[in-house]
């Protein structure tokens, strides 16, 4: 339950990248921000419906269009945009379209990430293009969106919020995760630098670092023995729900978090405690 006003983001406009999954941090965050009163732009890559997991197919899920419908159900405006966060042209078009249709940009959530899979092998087996893709989406995408979003926020002169979705993999290295570790460590460092540069404009920049989370992203490992072995290693004994991560992100976007910046905040049930 929120302790602040349920509509404390009224009049604000948020962008959430990677928000098309039925089970995902992006969708959950978009809903939290809409509930708090913000209008929300949700982005995705235009996934082929044939690749949707069974629960999405059964639900008639339509990627970012369905997320946008949920945002509107909270009485907020929604704008679904298909784009590539690694393209500077696409990112600038996203900002321009947001301003044209919704008037401003106050909040940016950099959630887009490359799919879990081909990178989760020993370093000596990781293909160069796979390694680069993980970093391009996570690091270059976060940089491009943050740069364009910050320029717009500075122009508006009303402050703002940038929240970059990192991971506990940005706090501790693990075997068979070199590309993902490298990307998330980079996002954490980038966010620290960004927070110091934007502080004079009253724009905060923080990371949220989830651990094991029940989302479609982890479907490749299944929900069998490996899943429950991992869950058992979490001190609280379970994965996070996507909405729990979304609630933390919503708090960081609220006026209540105005003095929090440059942080990489863990939400992992106690599995990793590194700062």
- Would you tell me how many other CB atoms lie within 10 Å of the CB of residue 36? 25
Backbone angles phi, psi at 112, to 5 degrees: -60, 140
* DSSP notation for 102-164: HS---EEEE---PPSSTT-S-GGG--HHHHHHHHIIIIIHHHHHHHHHHHHHHHHTS-EEEEE
Residue 143 annotated in active site:
no
In order of 15, 120, 233, the CA distances from 224 in angstroms are: 35, 18, 15
Is 110 within 8 Å of 164 (Cβ atoms)?
yes
Q: Which helix (H) or strand (E) holds 208?
A: strand 203-210
Contact between 168 and 154 under an 8 Å Cβ cutoff? The reply is no
Using the structure block, give the residue that is written with the tokens 């949920």: 70
DSSP-derived 3-state class of residue 200: helix
User: Going by C-beta distance under 8 Å and a sequence separation of 6 or more, which residues neighbour residue 81?
Assistant: 41, 42, 43, 44, 64, 94, 97
Number of continuous H segments (helices) and E segments (strands) in the chain: 9, 9
The catalytic residues are 180
């Amino acid at each position: 339950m929120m302790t602040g006003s349920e509509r404390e983001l009224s009049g604000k406009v948020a962008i959430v990248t990677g928000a098309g999954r039925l089970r995902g941090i992006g969708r959950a965050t978009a809903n939290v921000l809409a509930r708090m009163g913000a209008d929300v732009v949700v982005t995705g890559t235009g996934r082929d419906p044939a690749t949707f997991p069974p629960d999405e197919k059964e639900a008639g899920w339509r990627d970012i269009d369905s997320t946008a419908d949920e945002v509107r159900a909270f009485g907020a405006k929604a704008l679904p945009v298909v784009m590539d966060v690694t393209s500077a042209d696409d990112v600038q078009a996203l900002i321009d379209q947001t301003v044209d249709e919704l008037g401003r940009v106050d909040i940016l959530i950099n959630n887009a990430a490359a799919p879990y899979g081909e990178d989760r092998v020993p370093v000596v087996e990781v293909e160069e293009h796979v390694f680069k893709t993980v970093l391009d989406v996570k690091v270059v995408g976060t940089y491009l969106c943050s740069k364009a979003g910050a320029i717009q926020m500075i122009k508006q002169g009303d402050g703002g919020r940038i929240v970059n979705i990192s991971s506990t993999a940005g706090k501790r290295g693990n075997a068979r995760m070199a590309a993902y570790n490298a990307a998330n460590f980079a996002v954490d460092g980038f966010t620290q630098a960004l927070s110091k540069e934007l502080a004079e404009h009253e724009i905060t920049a923080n990371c949220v670092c989830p651990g094991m989370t029940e989302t479609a992203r982890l479907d490749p490992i299944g929900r069998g023995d490996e899943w429950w072995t991992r869950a058992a290693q979490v001190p609280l004994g379970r994965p996070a729900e996507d909405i729990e991560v979304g609630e933390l992100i919503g708090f960081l976007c609220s006026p209540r978090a105005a003095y929090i910046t440059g942080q990489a905040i863990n939400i992992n049930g106690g599995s990793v405690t590194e700062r």
